[in-house]
């Protein structure tokens, strides 16, 4: 299978949300990272068909010649629900909308709810669900139909730490034979499960590659040093600081910059947050 995005451009008024974006994706988990306004939502919209690009194409091919809209599972950032539906009723409704007919619908729905840790909600109305429960139900609906392409937009919003770990484990298991795109601002979600990282800023792909490949590009640009506590604000205004650790009257600073920021600074191994700070100027 392959998802091919070729020369996609989209403009809203005078703002270019995507500029000649091209990328070919095969089975695996892809992390999509970028600051607010980077073009992530527009890119997701063009893939799902919710946004029509000004130019360019999005095509999906597999050995069976399947069409993308029949192979796509999508969790939007803000999922809407009928508040008086129960979780099983909602999923049965989504089965009908997607025209998916499992051999045993009741068991299929039950298995989906168990997978996202909602097996015990019974007939409880969705209107009484917590934000995390609604998010997990959204993940379940995205999995209906055994989709070959899965797109999750800020999927861990509202999930507690235990639920986030569970979600990451689910996604890791799905990525072996599907294309999974995970758009989020939570870098740790991507660090744990993504095979490749897409860095997007200003509608342009800044970088694409494995975590190792893109972090190696800023080797020698990540520093740690100790300063007096009263110097922290001045340093934060002057440098791209990714972390500050208080040590009483001293603080340990982690910063990303091209040149040595302090005579006592030492190079440290970069991580994905450092890459984002270096590429976008923010986390």
**In this predicted model, what pLDDT tens digit does every residue of 233-275 receive, in sequence order?**
999 999 999 999 999 999 999 999 999 999 999 999 999 999 9
Q: What pLDDT score was predicted for residue 65?
A: 59
Global pTM value: 0.89
Helices 131-142, 87-97: axis angle to 10 degrees equals 30
Q: Is residue 283 scored above 60 in pLDDT?
A: no
Tens of pLDDT, residue by residue over 103-158, are: 999 999 999 999 888 999 989 999 999 888 998 999 999 999 999 999 999 888 77
Enumerate the domain spans of the chain.
Answer: 2-214, 218-280
Question: What's the CATH number for 2-214?
Answer: 3.40.50.300
The residue ranges of DSSP E strands in the chain, in sequence order, are 2-12, 15-25, 28-33, 55-61, 72-75, 149-153, 179-183, 196-201, 204-209, 222-228, 240-247, 250-256, 266-267
Tens of pLDDT, residue by residue over 161-217, are: 888 888 888 888 888 889 999 998 788 888 888 999 999 999 999 999 999 999 999
- Residue 206's contacts (CB-CB under 8 Å, 6 or more residues apart) are 199, 200, 279, 280
């Amino acid at each position: 299978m392959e998802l091919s995005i070729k020369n996609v451009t989209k403009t809203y008024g005078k703002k270019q949300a995507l500029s000649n974006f091209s990328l070919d994706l095969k089975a695996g988990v892809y992390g999509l990272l970028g600051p607010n306004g980077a073009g992530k939502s527009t890119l997701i919209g063009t893939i799902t068909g919710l946004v029509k690009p000004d130019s360019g194409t999005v095509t999906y091919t597999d050995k069976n010649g399947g069409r993308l809209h029949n192979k796509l599972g999508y969790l939007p950032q803000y999922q809407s629900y009928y508040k008086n539906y129960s979780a099983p009723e909602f999923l049965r409704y989504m089965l009908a909308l997607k025209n998916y007919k499992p051999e045993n619908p009741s068991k299929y729905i039950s298995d989906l709810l168990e997978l996202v840790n909602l097996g015990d909600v019974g007939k409880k109305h969705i209107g009484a669900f917590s934000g995390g429960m609604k998010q997990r139900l959204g993940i379940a609906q995205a999995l209906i139909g055994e989709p070959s392409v899965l797109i999750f937009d800020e999927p861990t919003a509202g999930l507690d730490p235990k639920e986030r770990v569970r979600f990451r484990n689910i996604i890791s298991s799905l990525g072996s034979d599907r294309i999974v795109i995970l758009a989020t601002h939570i870098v740790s979600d991507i660090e744990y499960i993504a095979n490749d990282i897409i860095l997007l800023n200003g509608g342009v792909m800044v970088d694409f590659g494995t975590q190792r490949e893109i972090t190696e590009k800023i080797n020698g640009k990540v520093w740690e040093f100790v300063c007096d506590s009263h110097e922290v604000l001045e340093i934060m205004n002057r440098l791209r600081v990714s972390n500050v650790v208080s040590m009483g009257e001293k603080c340990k600073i982690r910063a990303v910059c091209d040149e040595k920021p302090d005579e006592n600074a030492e190079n440290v191994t970069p991580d994905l947050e450092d890459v984002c700070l270096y590429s976008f100027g923010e986390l």
